[in-house]
Structure 1
């Protein structure tokens, strides 16, 4: 049996959620057991993000390329729905993490709720439009591996020379990739989506309020991403200035 067909035949949401939950528990109890509770909790979130991000990119690419009838208003294929469910399970799991361990982080909680709204309405309400949503998923998650490694190195750099070195080496290329994907490719693709939806070509299968909500969520997410990476570039610049001054004073 073909792997995509096999996966699509399984009870996806419970299966995927159980997988992410198991990874989360393993992170707490095994992988990061010697870390402090605060750092262990953040690292556990990073580990399930790693388990979701890169696989989701490959799965979404396969789901898109295997569908010969691609378009912003085409009906979702079974495998496209499976990929959406894979992401829904992850975001539900990570949302639970934030609500329990970091309820003050309203930015991430809001991001996860908005993403869940888009994925759930596409999968379970309108059954169309997965092509565009999965492209956006690819653009969002293609930097996931680097961002999670960067995050782990960032939180450990005060007490780990190796983590500090990884952080220093990874910052410029990660920031550059993130800037191009979120600051260029993302806006261009969303613009194409908006032009298509404004034409009314999807109104018979995707209600206007749904696609308007999708566009609003994505534009907000991209705007926040651009603000976030701008702050990271400014932070890196300040750090390099400090290092340069320290070297001159030696």
Structure 2
């Protein structure tokens, strides 16, 4: 029987890496911060270890694709490697939200939707990584600035420099934040729709092969 979920050694290695990054931030970097601030700051620091590397690896995976780039092309090995890197991060960050911020249904829903897209693309459909990595690049290209701003915002009342960095909140109008969120949500929904179509195509192929065997 064909194995659908075949986790490679890269996935547990990446998950352990993000877990250690989170714990290091929680117990070392932010050990003197308040109990309310430590989890969020640790999540942001962990996100820093994912965002920029994900952008670099996505770019490399797309530029060095062994096959012509197509939204329906089979996943290359390095593309799968990048997907596993991000799956490990989103799973770890999802655990953070479920433990410390269980009422933040927006982010939990976002992470669940993202994991659905990434996991099915990597382990079930085995196609569509090009589209997913393009979205990953767009989503993470500004993550470093966002996470630095978020960490600074947590300390703006205590550290003057952090107040200057966190003060960017007042410089970005509400319509911009709302429009950005809409774009991100739409991008995730498009990803889900795209992978769902690949699922349908995959099941049709299996059904067609099964009918041929019966004949």
Q: TM-score, normalised by structure 1?
A: 0.68
CA–CA distance in 1 between the matches of 2:52 and 2:175? 18
Structure 2 residue 91 is the aligned partner of structure 1 residue 99? no
CA–CA distance in 2 between the matches of 1:100 and 1:185? 24
* Post-superposition offset of 1:85: 0.3
CA–CA distance in 2 between the matches of 1:66 and 1:175? 39
Aligned counterpart, 2:145 = 146
Aligned residue for 2:68, secondary structure, equals coil
Aligned counterpart, 1:225 = none
Count how many residue pairs are aligned between Structure 1 and Structure 2: 193
Give the gaps of 5 or more residues in structure 1.
Answer: 1-9, 211-250
8 Å CA contact retained: 1:143, 1:174: no
Aligned counterpart, 2:117 = 118
Aligned counterpart, 2:17 = 19
CA–CA distance in 2 between the matches of 1:87 and 1:48? 12
* Post-superposition offset of 1:102: 1.1
CA–CA distance in 2 between the matches of 1:48 and 1:209? 36
Choose which of 29, 35, 38 in structure 1 pairs with 2:36: 38
Which stretch of structure 1 is more off in the superposition, 159-168 or 106-115? 159-168
Taking a change above 3 Å as real, the CA distance of residues 113 and 166 of structure 1, as seen in their structure-2 partners, is same
CA–CA distance in 1 between the matches of 2:109 and 2:180? 21
Higher relative contact order (CA 8 A, sep 6+): 2
CA–CA distance in 2 between the matches of 1:165 and 1:24? 26
* Post-superposition offset of 1:169: 5.1
Structure 2 residue 195 is the aligned partner of structure 1 residue 207? no
* Post-superposition offset of 1:104: 0.9
Mapping for residues 52-71 of structure 1, pairs under 5 Å: 52-67=50-65, 68-71=67-70
Aligned residue for 1:69, secondary structure, equals coil
CA RMSD, 1 decimal:
3.2
* Post-superposition offset of 1:168: 2.5
8 Å CA contact retained: 1:147, 1:174: no
* Post-superposition offset of 1:14: 0.7
Q: TM-score, normalised by structure 2?
A: 0.78
Aligned residue for 1:96, secondary structure, equals helix
CA–CA distance in 2 between the matches of 1:174 and 1:147? 15
CA–CA distance in 2 between the matches of 1:66 and 1:137? 17
* Post-superposition offset of 1:185: 10
